[in-house]
């Protein structure tokens, strides 16, 4: 017991920091979500008014939630497919593979702000590189971020730029698959597609599941790119939930309402993660 106390004493700076800067704000926000609060004057208790307005009287709340769901529904599966495909390619035994892996991983460590600014130029309808390349093959490119119908798909495309981060995890997962499973499959006459379908993907499913959950959590907090590139426009087509939450908190000084939004988001993420965990019993295979 005494030994434990010594350990606690050593980690006490972290524990104190966690309690003060994570646990306390986290719990405070529960209380604040039931108040009217502008961060300067004391919070005033308003009961469930913030939640009531959110759910019944704020179309932008539903719109921003819809935008976020649509984005998640496209970007997360696409990110998984691209990440797995890239990892499969980079798992081949080719000369200079380390260099290729580094190249594909590099974009994921570029700061989001820098990436966003570069992509603003790439997707410029008139002078951007993407439309210039499309023009070379006779295609007139769309207005990308300038169009209400194209802005969200443009951000989805851009999200693939950072797929290198999950690719590394898939790659580690692929390396973990025992080679005897492939040997057995080959002996049984399995084609490459059958080996992928019945060996690689099932064995990789715990990693896919991990990236799916982390990806969903990340997507529901999608903010920086929209803040820098579109500010929610055009026509609120990229008004993501986190962006609206930020506006409520820091532009309209409605911290109580923003706290309520944060808790609704927390519950949404928890619910979706719960559903994912429930479904994983059917499709995630753990070795042994």
Partner 1 sequence: MAELKSGNALSLAAGVIAVGLLGWWGISQERESAAPHTAHGRIPVYYWHMWSAEWKPVMENVVTEFNASQTKYEVIPLQVPYGNADSKFLLSVAGGDPPDVMAQWTQAISTWSQGGILQPLETRMTPTEKNYFDNETYPVIHNNGWYKGHLYGMVMGVDVYACYYRADDFKQAGVDPDPAKFPSTLEGLTALGKKLDRTDASGNLTRVGFLPAGLTQFAPAFGGGFYDQSTRDVALDTPQNLKALTYIVDEHNRLGMDRLLRYNASLKPQNGADWPFIDGSMSISLDGEWRVQQLAKFAPNLKYHVAPLPAPAGGKPMASFSVTNFLTIPAGAKHSEGAWEFIKFWAGMDNPARAAKYNTAFGWLPSSPRMAGSPVYQAYLKKYPEYKTFVDLAASKNIVTTPPVPYQMFLMDRISAADDLAERGSVTPGMALKGLTKDVTRERSQRKELGYDE
Identify the DSSP state of 247: I
The piece of 7-15, 77-85, 99-107, 212-220 that touches partner 1 (CB under 8 A) is 7-15
Does 129 sit near partner 1 (CB under 8 A)? no
CB of 6 to partner 1, least distance (A): 5
The pattern of x and - marking residues 57 through 86 that bind partner 1 according to CB under 8 A reads xxx---------------------------
User: In whole angstroms, what is the distance from residue 196 CA to residue 276 CA?
Assistant: 23
- The long-range contacts involving 247-256, CB below 8 angstroms and separated by at least 24 positions, are 253/38, 253/39, 254/36, 254/38, 255/32, 255/37, 255/38, 255/39, 256/32, 256/33, 256/34, 256/35, 256/36, 256/37, 256/43, 256/46, 256/50
Three-state DSSP state, 42:
coil
Torsion angle of the four alpha carbons 108, 122, 68, 47, in this order, in degrees rounded to the nearest 10: 90
The pattern of x and - marking residues 34 through 53 that bind partner 1 according to CB under 8 A reads --x-xxxx--x-x--xx-xx
The pattern of x and - marking residues 85 through 124 that bind partner 1 according to CB under 8 A reads ---------------------------------------x
Closest to partner 1 by CB, 163 or 260: 260
Using an 8 Å Cβ cutoff, are 212 and 84 in contact? no
User: In whole angstroms, what is the distance from residue 1 CA to residue 7 CA?
Assistant: 10
User: In whole angstroms, what is the distance from residue 288 CA to residue 284 CA?
Assistant: 12
Identify the H or E element spanning 172.
helix 164-176
The pattern of x and - marking residues 233 through 262 that bind partner 1 according to CB under 8 A reads xxxx----------x--xxxx--xx-----
Closest to partner 1 by CB, 216 or 264: 264
**Which of 1, 13, 14, 288 contacts partner 1 by CB under 8 A?**
13
Name the residues that contact partner 1, by CB under 8 A: 2-3, 5-6, 9-10, 12-13, 36, 38-41, 44, 46, 49-50, 52-53, 57-59, 124-127, 143, 146-148, 233-236, 247, 250-253, 256-257
């Amino acid at each position: 017991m005494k030994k434990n106390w010594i350990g606690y004493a050593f980690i006490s700076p972290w524990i104190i920091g966690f309690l003060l800067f994570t646990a306390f704000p986290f719990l405070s926000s529960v209380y604040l979500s039931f108040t009217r609060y502008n961060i300067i004057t004391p919070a005033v208790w308003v009961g469930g008014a913030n939640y009531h307005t959110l759910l019944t009287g704020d179309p932008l709340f539903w719109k921003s939630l819809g935008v976020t769901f649509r984005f998640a529904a496209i970007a997360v599966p696409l990110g998984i497919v691209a990440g797995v495909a890239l990892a499969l390619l980079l798992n081949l035994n080719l000369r200079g593979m380390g260099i290729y892996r580094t190249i594909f991983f590099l974009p994921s460590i570029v700061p989001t702000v820098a990436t966003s600014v570069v992509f603003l130029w790439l997707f410029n309808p008139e002078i951007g590189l993407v439309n210039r390349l499309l023009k070379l093959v006779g295609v007139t490119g769309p207005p990308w971020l300038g169009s209400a119908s194209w802005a969200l798909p443009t951000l989805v495309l851009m999200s693939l730029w950072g797929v290198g981060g999950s690719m590394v995890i898939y790659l580690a997962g692929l390396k973990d698959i025992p080679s005897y499973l492939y040997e057995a499959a080959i002996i049984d006459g399995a084609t490459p597609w059958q080996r992928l379908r019945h060996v690689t993907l099932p064995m990789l499913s715990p990693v896919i599941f991990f990236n799916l959950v982390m990806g969903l959590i990340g997507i529901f907090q999608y903010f920086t790119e929209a803040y820098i590139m579109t500010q929610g426009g055009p026509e609120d087509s990229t008004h993501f939930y986190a962006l609206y939450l930020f506006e409520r908190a820091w532009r309209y000084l409605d911290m109580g309402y923003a706290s309520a939004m944060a808790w609704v988001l927390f519950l949404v993420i928890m619910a979706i993660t719960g559903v994912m965990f429930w479904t994983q019993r059917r499709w995630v295979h753990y070795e042994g």
